Amino acid sequence: MNIFKFIKKLTFLGILFLVTSCARVDPVEPTPTDTTETLNFYALNDFHGAIENKPDKQTGISRIGKYLMDEKAKNPNNTIIISSGDMWQGSVDSNLNKGALLTDIMNTIGFDSITIGNHEFDWGEDAIRNNKAKMQFPLLACNIFYKGTETRPDYLSPYTTITKGNIKIGIIGAVKENIGVDILRSVSNLFDYRKPNEYIKKYSDILFTNENCDAVILSTHDSDYSGYLDTTLVSTVSNRIYLDGIFLGHDHQVYNGDENNVPYVEGGSNGKMISNITLKVKSHKVTESYGEVINTLENCNSTSSEIDAVYDGYKPEIDRIKNTIIGKTSVALSKPELGAIASKSIIYYINNHQDEFNYKVDYAEVNSGGTRNTIEAGNVTYGMIYQVFPFDNNIVEADLDEAGLAAYKSYDGNYSYTLNEPKVDTDGLYHIGTINYVSEIYDGKGVNKSRTYSPTLLRDAIVEAISKNYIDEIKPIVD
């Protein structure tokens, strides 16, 4: 071979080798592996304005809020905080501002939603709208409509969606069917509270199919978990189980169980427990779920300076009213005893304010469900009376025939007091004292022939009776 051709060939092969050996070879990308994501839902239900800390009795919102905020700070991409209703009504701290303080605190904590409860309606729609305007989270209920229509109140949404990292969650809100029986009738008669299940299934299908959610939970102001059995089955539309978890409320009990492997949880009342449901999500489906209740007295041990600052803004006006001493009791007072005190206070108020009423009364009664607490021996403050009788019920004088009187007196669920046995008056009717919540129940049964309202609230009539020593015949509340 010609020497020049040989050298040329070697040179070409060398260059080819260098080019080949120095070329960048991209590595083969591995096939991505689906990871399991953990979602933690925390819920309060039936909090009833339990803002204040009472050692060994009531945790208070500063400690509960700090716990929830810490969980969200540690795990921002998998923590969801919700309420299942009845948050505002129940204490002087919350009632004096019609829930505004608690709504501000919920914003500070970072709630993701609240389901409306029956007691959110206690102050009417204006108070709901005022709080809704402050909320940085949605107010939910899928099964409440104005009576006889398909129109849902403008402050309510049937569901909301939340995205956490790569996971999208749907939350449906609902209330117990016919929950209006636990609301002042003059308010509840504006609405239909329909059976929720078909609405829940409808919105579950929308959330899974149209909204592409990876998980859907229910937050309901209803304690009857067995009533939701059909929502734990597989939908023929989405081919998914309708719900991946259920948060309950309303009856103040503690529940933690499951139906068809769908967990349900309820956390008592007044912040005693936080309800918690954990979901494991892989490949856009829930693969594991379980619930628990978290004891707040045991687990919520530090306070939040952010929440305390919000509270401090409201506190001077709250304290001025709630810490006013109105009397003293030498013995502890039970709920039945306080119910009797309330009933006798109604008799006193009606009989001593005849400028407001047409007749005097010898008998009065209040609903036992509206008597929410006991009182220990010692000084009695306006705040204590507020805690026992938190609802804004007005004094009423009701006019009844004999059957109507029997209907009132035969109901075992009320507390009453009899000064003298009622007698037929000059108009041929019996006259008794009560509150508007009770009288409106009997309106629906056609019992009341007529009635007279007072603008005075029950607790203020009680305060007046205490201050004038009228009720010491039942218990020596004033020494």
Pairing label, strands 167-175, 215-221? parallel
pLDDT at 16 over 90: no
pLDDT at 350: 97
Mean per-residue pLDDT, 150-163: 98
pLDDT at 6: 41
Over the Cα atoms of the chain, what is R_g? Answer: 31
Opening angle at CA 433, ends 410 and 426, nearest 5: 95
Residue 14: band (very low, low, confident or very high) from pLDDT cuts 50, 70, 90: very low
pLDDT at 470: 66
- The identity of residue 174, as a single letter, is A
Q: Whole-angstrom Cα distance, residue 46 to residue 2?
A: 101
pLDDT at 132: 98
Q: What is the mean pLDDT of the chain?
A: 91
Residue 310: band (very low, low, confident or very high) from pLDDT cuts 50, 70, 90: very high
Q: Residue 31's CB: how many other CB atoms inside 10 A?
A: 5
Phi and psi torsions of 434, nearest 5°: -160, -160
pLDDT at 466: 87
Report the SS3 class of residue 386: helix
**Of the candidate ranges 13-27, 298-312, 391-405, 459-473, the one whose mean pLDDT is the lowest:** 13-27
Q: Whole-angstrom Cα distance, residue 418 to residue 343?
A: 8
- The identity of residue 295, as a single letter, is N
pLDDT at 18: 38
Phi and psi torsions of 299, nearest 5°: -115, -15
pLDDT at 467: 82
Residue 471: band (very low, low, confident or very high) from pLDDT cuts 50, 70, 90: low
Euclidean distance between the first and final Cα of the chain, in Å? 131
CATH class of 37-316: alpha beta
Domain boundaries, the chain: 37-316, 324-467
pLDDT at 248: 98
pLDDT at 12: 41
Residue 457 Ramachandran class (φ > 0 left, ψ -120 to 50 alpha, else beta)? beta
Residue 443: band (very low, low, confident or very high) from pLDDT cuts 50, 70, 90: confident
Residue 472: band (very low, low, confident or very high) from pLDDT cuts 50, 70, 90: low
Residue 3: band (very low, low, confident or very high) from pLDDT cuts 50, 70, 90: very low
Mean per-residue pLDDT, 348-359: 96
Mean per-residue pLDDT, 437-454: 89
Phi and psi torsions of 329, nearest 5°: -120, 135
Could you tell me which residues come within 8 angstroms of residue 139 by beta carbon, excluding any fewer than 6 positions away?
A: 113, 114, 115, 116, 128, 132, 155, 156, 157, 173
Biggest alpha carbon distance in the chain? 144
Q: Whole-angstrom Cα distance, residue 380 to residue 451?
A: 32
Q: Give the percent of the chain with pLDDT over 70.
A: 91
pLDDT at 434 over 60: yes
**Of the candidate ranges 22-31, 167-176, 322-331, 380-389, the one whose mean pLDDT is the lowest:** 22-31
Report H helices in 392-478: 402-409, 436-443, 458-467
Highest mean pLDDT: which range of 1-10, 27-36, 204-213: 204-213
| C-alpha distance from residue 264 to each of 48, 123, 160, 326, 410 (Å) | 21, 30, 19, 44, 37
**Of the candidate ranges 47-51, 81-85, 182-186, 273-277, the one whose mean pLDDT is the lowest:** 182-186
pLDDT at 51 over 80: yes
pLDDT at 48 over 80: yes
Opening angle at CA 178, ends 174 and 180, nearest 5: 95
> What confidence tens digit (pLDDT) does each residue in 296-305 have?
999 999 999 9
152-171 as b/e: b if 16+ CB within 10 A: bbebbbbbbebebeebbbbb
Phi and psi torsions of 294, nearest 5°: -110, 120
Please give the CATH topology (third level) of the domain spanning 324-467: 5'-nucleotidase;  domain 2 (3.90.780)
